């Protein structure tokens, strides 16, 4: 078997059995990058030297029996908003174009402890603001299924790198769908865990109350395996939760008998592409045939999720991004007179249009006289959405729906109409507002040859329910192989 | 006769808490250190870093709230105050606006006009900023983040004070409570206690408040007193001249004795406060509250009353000793080691205060231990050293906290109680000073003083002067 066709878990097993060396795996990935990166542009930084160095270190630890985990020696790509000590971390923004962190994010540390080999940092929408990876200051990432289409975003580089076999798995971050939607567009598996499951320490914040790190990978087994490595209680993150139930691979049972699945009717209304709708409902049928109880219900409130999300996320972002001022690190304008002019010019030149739009929006909703009408009201909507989900999860184990209304749009189609782009997040953002786990699993290909994603949503701390459903579905579906069309 | 005016004053007092580490990270709060050495990704605002609350900050804030009769907010949050300035590494300060930890308290002050309650509007927790160093000549600025993230509480009073005297009494009261709690050393000169004065004037008897100004840069009680006088006069002059007081922040220059406008209400920034999403809300549990309540110390008033009951020392001494928690502890611990209260009090009131004054130190800076003070008193009680030697030993103890017994032993300072040796020395002194002997015998009583001095000198101070006196009289 070609090394590149292996999943992360199968490669890890092969390395353990000495069938493959870590260096073999690293070389295979670097060769693939050499070959296809110029087409897809998944990475901001490829750390070739670092990868070779890590490969040697990890191999000797494996040989010495110090590293025995399932992912030891497996090459991984990291979204460029997670700090990596000594390795450029840009958030795909000019303002951090020269930023080399002095410390590692906790999720990356957890990977390193498990023997992961970091290949590089993946491209993203600038500061994770966008749904196409087109707002990156360092070029557009293209969809490996069809390079005329976007990979989705904001973790588009991570999703595309997995799909293009330029890594074996990747970390992404999801604030409003930024793992699930690109996973859906690129035909890979993506999971946004329950808020608080993966430490945010070292994740450069977009919207702190919604951001969550998660895996993008080739199948559900990899997803559960990676989750067991990156989930941790971190005293450095006060929103980090101490969980006992992180044995995610125990849910890989191929048994959904009696699992109660709810299909929210409002997720299948106007705006949903019929091909996406058919594929998702077919997936529900598959689960039903395997013994799950599938019912339709009214979730409601979905329409309020978008304005609430963009209010809260923009408010937090406007404050989170204040530290990028050209003083301590990052980009500083060449010519300036006085402090305030330096701030103004550095930030005007350093941030892109979408980031500036959200900073302005966020500053506005927090400003005196508008705080109650916008920010506080959005928080109330957030609480109501959580309530609606609580009610649903009193009845169902899993909520099933589409990830996005359409498959991947063509390059350049989305940015001209930001409002339309925001509406594309309709099925994913309420999961972030309620802090729930949500997963995207490939469930078909449309007539254009682009992949379709199935979204499975669980109650807080119930990742195992959605992993169980996803795994059972995946077993029935069979292999999901990319065919590139031009 | 001109109109009568009343001054209305409220204070915002910042107190630096005495925690070992910063409010949101593990960096030390120790003073000094080369610039930017007491820092980490959190307190320098590095991308991706996150704050985590230091529990001791909450404990101190709650303790101060309880001591000032506040309601403790059982569900409270931190908010971000957004403004751009390089001393503030995130460009927002983590503070509390919507749900401060303490509200609605009061403290009682006493002035010449009697007792009065001063209301406390709220107490909130926040982080300090870094320090900017401006190089005017080379036209650049540097920033040191060693102070960034040092924990502060801000105590906001109601506008209940009417004179500088009341303001000082209120500040003294706060300082005393906080020092007793060990929550801060409250040194104004070093900036661990800072006060901003909100002041307005109105015609006597008026019900509405006048327009207020906020005065900053007040570094001592005397500066506060002068600033209040200055600002009151400035506002009255404006009103008398038919002009309006502008609501603004002013900076007091104590050298010139004048204040200058810094910014008016119109240029006030919109801080866009909102709850910090990086910090989970704080729930003050019953257990935590009980724990803090259980640890509240005996405050000054209670201590004064108890001293009056327990110890036979003057009211004046009690006032001075309890004026510093450290001195009161020293007093009590020394007494507990068996020293007589009056003697302990004497050492504190006379020699200690003298040395503090000479060295420009606060009672909080006293370094000698109760054990060594008790040891010294034991030596004098046993007449092992005379009072001159005792003072000398005390000075050394004050400086270096030496063990007096060891010190006296090593330096050979013990009083010579061997009458034979003393008698020999006295005889020598008599033989060597015929003139004084003559004078004394001729009725010049004073001459004996000289002979005592000569004997003490010959004994290198180690004799009991009363014994010398007695021997001289006997031999003459």
Nearest CA in chain A to B93: A319
Give the C-alpha separation, A93 to A83, whole Å.
14
Closest Cα to residue A444, out of A207, A212, A286, A319? A286
User: B26 CB near a chain A CB, below 8 Å?
Assistant: no
On whether the CB atoms of residues A331 and A94 are closer than 8 A, the answer is yes
pLDDT digits (tens, 9 = 90+) for A186-240: 999 999 999 999 999 999 999 999 999 999 999 999 999 999 999 999 999 999 9
What are the angstrom distances between the C-alpha of A111 and each of A61, A307, B264?
A: 15, 36, 53
Query: How many separate helices (H) and strands (E) can be counted in chain A?
Result: 15, 11
Mutate to test the interface with B, among A211, A238, A239, A324 (most CBs of B within 10 A): A238
What are the angstrom distances between the C-alpha of A115 and each of A67, A457, B407?
A: 7, 30, 63
**Per the structure block, which two tokens stand in for B333?**
């611990």
**Extents of the domains making up chain B:** 5-288, 298-411, 419-475
Q: Judge whether A236 counts as a catalytic residue.
A: no
Chain A CB contacts of B280 under 8 Å are 238-239
pLDDT reported for residue B417:
67
| Out of A9-23, A108-122, B134-148, B307-321, least confident range | B134-148
Tell me the pLDDT band of A486, cut-offs 50, 70 and 90. Answer: very low
pLDDT digits (tens, 9 = 90+) for A75-126: 999 999 999 999 999 999 999 999 999 999 999 999 999 999 999 999 999 9
User: B89 CB near a chain A CB, below 8 Å?
Assistant: yes
Place of tokens 């406008």: B261
Nearest CA in chain A to B141: A339
Mutate to test the interface with B, among A198, A235, A236 (most CBs of B within 10 A): A236
**Per the structure block, which two tokens stand in for B329?**
């502890």
pLDDT digits (tens, 9 = 90+) for B249-273: 999 999 999 999 988 776 778 999 9
Please enumerate in sequence order all residues whose Cβ is within 8 A of that of B457, keeping only pairs 6 or more positions apart, or say none. none
Nearest CA in chain B to A95: B47
For residue B250, give how far its alpha carbon lies from the nearest alpha carbon of chain A (Å).
Answer: 22
pLDDT digits (tens, 9 = 90+) for B401-449: 999 999 988 887 777 666 777 788 888 888 888 888 888 888 787 788 8
What are the angstrom distances between the C-alpha of B355 and each of A290, A400, A463, B302?
A: 89, 80, 69, 28
Mutate to test the interface with A, among B274, B276, B283 (most CBs of A within 10 A): B274
Which entry of A92, A93, A105, A154 is annotated as an active-site residue?
A154
Place of tokens 């909100």: B198
Range A388-392 contact pairs with CB under 8 angstroms and sequence separation of 24 or more: A388/A299, A388/A300, A388/A301, A389/A299, A389/A430, A389/A434, A389/A436, A389/A459, A390/A459, A392/A262, A392/A264, A392/A297, A392/A299
Note whether B47 contacts A102, CB cutoff 8 Å: no
For residue A38, give how far its alpha carbon lies from the nearest alpha carbon of chain B (Å).
Answer: 29
Nearest CA in chain A to B89: A323
Note whether B91 contacts A329, CB cutoff 8 Å: no
Strands (E), B128-245: 131-135, 140-144, 151-157, 193-203, 213-216
Note whether B51 contacts A323, CB cutoff 8 Å: no
Chain B CB contacts of A91 under 8 Å are 47
On whether the CB atoms of residues B81 and B73 are closer than 8 A, the answer is no
Note whether A101 contacts B274, CB cutoff 8 Å: no
Tell me the pLDDT band of B474, cut-offs 50, 70 and 90. Answer: confident
Considering just the CA atoms, what is the radius of gyration of chain B in Å? 30
Partnered with residue A364 across adjacent β-strands are: none
Note whether A327 contacts B272, CB cutoff 8 Å: no
Chain A CB contacts of B89 under 8 Å are 323, 328
Give the C-alpha separation, A178 to A440, whole Å.
11
Count of C-beta atoms within a 10 Å radius of residue A242:
9
On whether the CB atoms of residues A204 and A88 are closer than 8 A, the answer is no
**DSSP letter (8 states) at residue B373:** H
Chain B CB contacts of A328 under 8 Å are 44-46, 89
Which entry of A178, A184, A199, A346 is annotated as an active-site residue?
A178
First-to-last alpha carbon distance for chain A, in angstroms, is 27
Please enumerate in sequence order all residues whose Cβ is within 8 A of that of A26, keeping only pairs 6 or more positions apart, or say none. A51, A52, A54, A55, A75, A117, A119
Evaluate if residue B1 carries a pLDDT over 70.
Answer: no
For residue B198, give how far its alpha carbon lies from the nearest alpha carbon of chain A (Å).
Answer: 23
CA geometry: angle A391, A395, A396, nearest 5 deg: 105
Nearest CA in chain B to A320: B90
- The arithmetic mean of pLDDT across residues A344-363, rounded, is 97
Chain A CB contacts of B92 under 8 Å are 319, 322
Helix (H, G, I), strand (E, B) or coil at A338: coil
Note whether A238 contacts B92, CB cutoff 8 Å: no
User: B149 CB near a chain A CB, below 8 Å?
Assistant: no
For residue A141, give how far its alpha carbon lies from the nearest alpha carbon of chain B (Å).
Answer: 24
Give the C-alpha separation, B11 to B268, whole Å.
19
- The arithmetic mean of pLDDT across residues B187-214, rounded, is 93
User: B52 CB near a chain A CB, below 8 Å?
Assistant: yes
For residue B109, give how far its alpha carbon lies from the nearest alpha carbon of chain A (Å).
Answer: 37
Evaluate if residue B85 carries a pLDDT over 80.
Answer: yes
Q: Judge whether A10 counts as a catalytic residue.
A: no
Give burial (CB, 10 Å; 0-12/13-18/19+) of B341: middle
- The arithmetic mean of pLDDT across residues B326-336, rounded, is 95
**Per the structure block, which two tokens stand in for A255?**
């048994």
Write out the residues of chain A at the interface with chain B, using a CB-CB cutoff of 8 A: 81-83, 89, 91, 96, 99, 101-103, 105, 200-205, 207-209, 235-239, 315-316, 318-319, 322-325, 327-329, 339-340, 343, 363, 366-368, 371, 375
- State what percent of residues in chain B have pLDDT above 70: 99
Q: Residues 258..277 of B with a Cβ closer than 8 Å to A: which?
A: 270, 272-274, 277
**Per the structure block, which two tokens stand in for B383?**
């007449």
For residue A104, give how far its alpha carbon lies from the nearest alpha carbon of chain B (Å).
Answer: 10
Helix (H, G, I), strand (E, B) or coil at A435: coil
What are the angstrom distances between the C-alpha of B336 and each of A457, B37, B46, B311, B344?
A: 68, 43, 52, 12, 11
First-to-last alpha carbon distance for chain B, in angstroms, is 78
Q: Judge whether A154 counts as a catalytic residue.
A: yes
**What architecture does CATH give domain B419-475?**
Orthogonal Bundle (1.10)
Mutate to test the interface with B, among A200, A235, A328 (most CBs of B within 10 A): A328
On whether the CB atoms of residues A120 and A137 are closer than 8 A, the answer is no
Note whether A239 contacts B41, CB cutoff 8 Å: no
Considering only CB atoms, B48 lies closest to which of A83, A327, A339, namely A83
What are the angstrom distances between the C-alpha of A275 and each of A163, A271, A278, A280, A460?
A: 22, 12, 5, 9, 30
On whether the CB atoms of residues B22 and B89 are closer than 8 A, the answer is no
Question: What is the rounded average pLDDT for all residues in chain B?
Answer: 92
State the DSSP H helix or E strand holding residue B104, giving kind and residue range, or none if neither: strand B102-111
ipTM here: 0.96
Give the C-alpha separation, A400 to A268, whole Å.
11
- The arithmetic mean of pLDDT across residues A20-45, rounded, is 98
Evaluate if residue A269 carries a pLDDT over 90.
Answer: no
Note whether A89 contacts B47, CB cutoff 8 Å: yes
Nearest CA in chain A to B83: A322
Which entry of A10, A79, A105, A199 is annotated as an active-site residue?
A79
Mutate to test the interface with A, among B22, B272, B279, B281 (most CBs of A within 10 A): B272
Q: Hey, what domains does chain A have and what are their CATH numbers?
A: 3-262+396-477 (3.90.1300.10)
User: B22 CB near a chain A CB, below 8 Å?
Assistant: no
pLDDT reported for residue A485:
53
Give the C-alpha separation, B244 to B235, whole Å.
8
Considering only CB atoms, A201 lies closest to which of B50, B90, B270, namely B50
User: B350 CB near a chain A CB, below 8 Å?
Assistant: no
B451 preceded by cis ω (within 30°)? Answer: no
On whether the CB atoms of residues A26 and A51 are closer than 8 A, the answer is yes
Evaluate if residue B170 carries a pLDDT over 90.
Answer: yes
Note whether B90 contacts A207, CB cutoff 8 Å: no
Nearest CA in chain A to B94: A319
Question: What is the rounded average pLDDT for all residues in chain A?
Answer: 96
Evaluate if residue B171 carries a pLDDT over 60.
Answer: yes
Closest Cα to residue A143, out of A42, A13, A23? A42
Considering only CB atoms, A105 lies closest to which of B44, B48, B92, namely B48
Note whether B277 contacts A208, CB cutoff 8 Å: yes
């Amino acid at each position: 078997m070609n090394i590149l066709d292996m999943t992360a878990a199968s490669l890890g097993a092969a390395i353990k059995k000495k069938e493959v060396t870590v260096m073999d795996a690293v070389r295979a990935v670097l060769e693939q990058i050499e070959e296809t990166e110029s087409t897809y542009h998944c990475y901001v930084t490829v750390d070739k030297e670092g990868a070779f160095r890590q490969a040697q270190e990890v191999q000797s630890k494996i040989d010495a029996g110090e590293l025995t985990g399932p992912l030891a020696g497996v090459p991984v790509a990291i979204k460029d908003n997670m700090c990596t000590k000594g390795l450029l971390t840009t958030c795909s923004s000019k303002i951090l174009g020269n930023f080399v962190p002095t410390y590692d994010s906790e999720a990356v540390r957890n990977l390193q402890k498990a023997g992961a080999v970091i290949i590089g940092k993946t491209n993203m929408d600038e500061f994770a603001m966008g749904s196409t990876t087109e707002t990156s200051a360092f070029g557009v990432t293209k969809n490996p299924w069809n390079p005329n289409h976007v990979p989705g975003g904001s973790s588009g580089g991570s999703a595309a790198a997995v799909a293009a076999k330029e890594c074996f798995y990747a970390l992404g971050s999801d604030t409003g769908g930024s793992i699930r939607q690109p996973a859906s567009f690129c035909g890979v598996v993506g999971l946004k865990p329950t808020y608080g499951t993966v430490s945010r320490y070292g994740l450069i914040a977009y919207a702190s109350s919604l951001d969550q790190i998660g895996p993008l990978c080739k199948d559900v087994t990899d997803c559960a395996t990676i989750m067991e490595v990156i989930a941790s209680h971190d005293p450095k993150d006060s929103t980090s939760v101490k969980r006992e139930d992180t044995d995610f691979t125990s849910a890989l049972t191929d048994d959904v008998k009696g699992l109660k699945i709810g299909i929210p009717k409002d997720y299948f209304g106007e705006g949903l592409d019929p091909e996406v709708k058919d594929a998702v409902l077919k997936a529900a049928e598959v689960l039903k045939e395997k013994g799950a109880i599938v019912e339709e219900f009214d979730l409601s409130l979905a329409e309020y999720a978008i304005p609430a999300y963009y209010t809260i996320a923009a408010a937090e972002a406007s404050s989170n991004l204040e530290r990028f001022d050209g003083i301590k690190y990052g980009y500083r304008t060449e010519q300036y007179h006085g402090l305030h002019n330096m701030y103004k010019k550095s930030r005007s030149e350093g941030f892109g249009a979408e980031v500036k739009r959200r900073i302005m929006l966020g500053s506005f909703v927090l400003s005196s006289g508008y705080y109650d009408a916008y920010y506080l009201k959005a928080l109330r909507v957030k609480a109501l959405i959580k309530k609606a989900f609580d009610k649903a999860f009193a009845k169902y184990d899993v909520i099933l729906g589409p990830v996005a209304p359409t498959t991947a749009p063509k390059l350049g189609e989305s940015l001209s109409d930001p409002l339309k782009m925001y509406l594309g997040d309709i099925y994913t953002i309420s999961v972030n507002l309620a802090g729930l786990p949500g997963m995207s699993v490939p469930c078909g290909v449309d007539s254009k040859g682009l992949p379709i994603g199935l979204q499975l949503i669980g109650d807080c701390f119930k990742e195992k329910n959605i992993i169980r459903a996803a795994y059972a579905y995946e077993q029935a579906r069979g292999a999901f192989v990319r065919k590139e069309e031009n | 006769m001109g109109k009568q005016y009343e001054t209305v004053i409220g204070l915002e007092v910042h107190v630096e808490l005495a925690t070992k580490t910063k409010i949101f990270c593990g960096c030390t709060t120790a003073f000094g250190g080369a610039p930017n050495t007491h820092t980490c990704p959190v307190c320098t605002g590095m991308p991706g870093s996150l704050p985590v609350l230091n529990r001791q900050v909450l404990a101190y804030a709650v303790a101060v709230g309880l001591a000032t009769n506040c309601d403790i907010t059982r569900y409270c949050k931190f908010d971000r105050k957004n403004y751009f300035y390089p001393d503030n590494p995130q460009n927002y300060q983590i503070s509390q606006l919507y749900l401060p930890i303490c509200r609605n308290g009061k403290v009682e002050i006493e002035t010449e006009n009697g007792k009065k309650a001063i209301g406390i509007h709220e107490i909130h927790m926040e982080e300090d900023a870094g320090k900017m160093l401006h190089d005017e000549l080379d036209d650049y600025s540097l920033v040191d983040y060693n102070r960034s993230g040092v924990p502060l509480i801000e105590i906001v009073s109601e506008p209940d004070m009417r004179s500088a005297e009341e303001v000082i009494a209120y500040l003294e009261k706060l300082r005393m409570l906080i020092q007793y709690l060990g929550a801060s050393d409250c040194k104004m000169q070093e900036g661990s206690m800072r006060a901003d004065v909100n002041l307005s004037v109105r015609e006597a008897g008026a019900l509405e408040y006048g327009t207020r100004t906020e005065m900053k840069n007040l570094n001592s009680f005397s500066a506060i007193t002068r600033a209040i006088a200055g600002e009151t006069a400035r506002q009255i002059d404006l009103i008398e001249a038919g002009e309006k007081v502008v609501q603004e922040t002013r900076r007091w220059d104590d050298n010139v004795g004048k204040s200058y406008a810094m910014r008016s209400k119109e240029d006030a920034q919109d801080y866009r406060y909102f709850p910090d999403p990086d910090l989970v809300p704080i729930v003050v549990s019953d257990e935590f509250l009980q724990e803090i309540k259980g640890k509240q110390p005996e405050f000054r008033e209670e201590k004064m009353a108890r001293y009056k009951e327990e110890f036979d020392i003057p009211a004046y001494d009690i006032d001075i000793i309890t004026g510093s928690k450290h001195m009161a502890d020293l007093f009590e611990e020394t007494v507990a080691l068996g020293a007589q209260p009056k003697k302990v009090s004497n050492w504190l009131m006379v020699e200690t205060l003298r040395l503090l004054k000479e060295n420009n130190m606060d009672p909080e800076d006293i370094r000698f231990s109760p054990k060594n003070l008790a040891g010294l008193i034991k030596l004098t009680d046993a007449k092992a050293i005379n009072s001159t030697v005792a003072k000398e030993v005390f000075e050394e103890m004050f400086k270096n906290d030496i063990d007096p017994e060891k010190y006296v032993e090593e330096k050979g300072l013990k009083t010579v109680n061997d009458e034979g040796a003393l008698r020999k020395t006295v005889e020598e002194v008599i033989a060597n000073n015929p003139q004084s002997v003559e004078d004394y015998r001729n009725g010049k009583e004073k001459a004996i003083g000289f002979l005592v001095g000569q004997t003490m000198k010959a004994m290198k101070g180690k004799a009991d002067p009363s014994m010398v006196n007695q021997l001289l009289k006997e031999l003459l």
